Amino acid sequence: MKKLTVKDVIERNIDFAKKRSERFEISIYAPITKNVYYDGSSYRVRVTKDYNRTSVNFRKLKDAIKFRDKLKKD
């Protein structure tokens, strides 16, 4: 059995989200990492802290993860 790397899992989830979005013509968010989701065209960061939910979309995964880490740190 082949072990999957983190990159493989992310790519598989991205492919899944793209196929689901095209098939159903709705946004399907596939989990990429904790609090980061992909819908086929953008990455969404959803973080709840002190009962306040923040939800922001990004084009690049790197930007989404930086934003998530900043929110978690504050």
The verdict on residue 61 lying in a domain is yes
Q: Mapping DSSP to helix (H, G, I), strand (E, B) and coil, where does residue 53 land?
A: strand
The verdict on residue 43 lying in a domain is yes
More confident residue, 5 or 61: 61
* Interval 19-62: pLDDT, tens: 766 665 666 677 888 999 988 788 999 998 889 899 999 999 99
C-alpha to C-alpha distance for 48 and 69, rounded to whole angstroms: 13
The verdict on residue 46 lying in a domain is yes
pTM given for the model? 0.65
The boundaries of the domain holding residue 36 are 6-73
The verdict on residue 53 lying in a domain is yes
Q: How confident is the model at residue 63 (pLDDT cuts 50, 70, 90)?
A: very high
> What's the confidence (pLDDT) of residue 39?
81
The first and second tokens of residue 4, run together, are: 């999957």
Total structural domains within the chain: 1
Q: Mapping DSSP to helix (H, G, I), strand (E, B) and coil, where does residue 39 land?
A: coil
> What's the confidence (pLDDT) of residue 27?
66
* Local structure of residue 1 (DSSP, 8 states): -
> What's the confidence (pLDDT) of residue 73?
79
The verdict on residue 1 lying in a domain is no
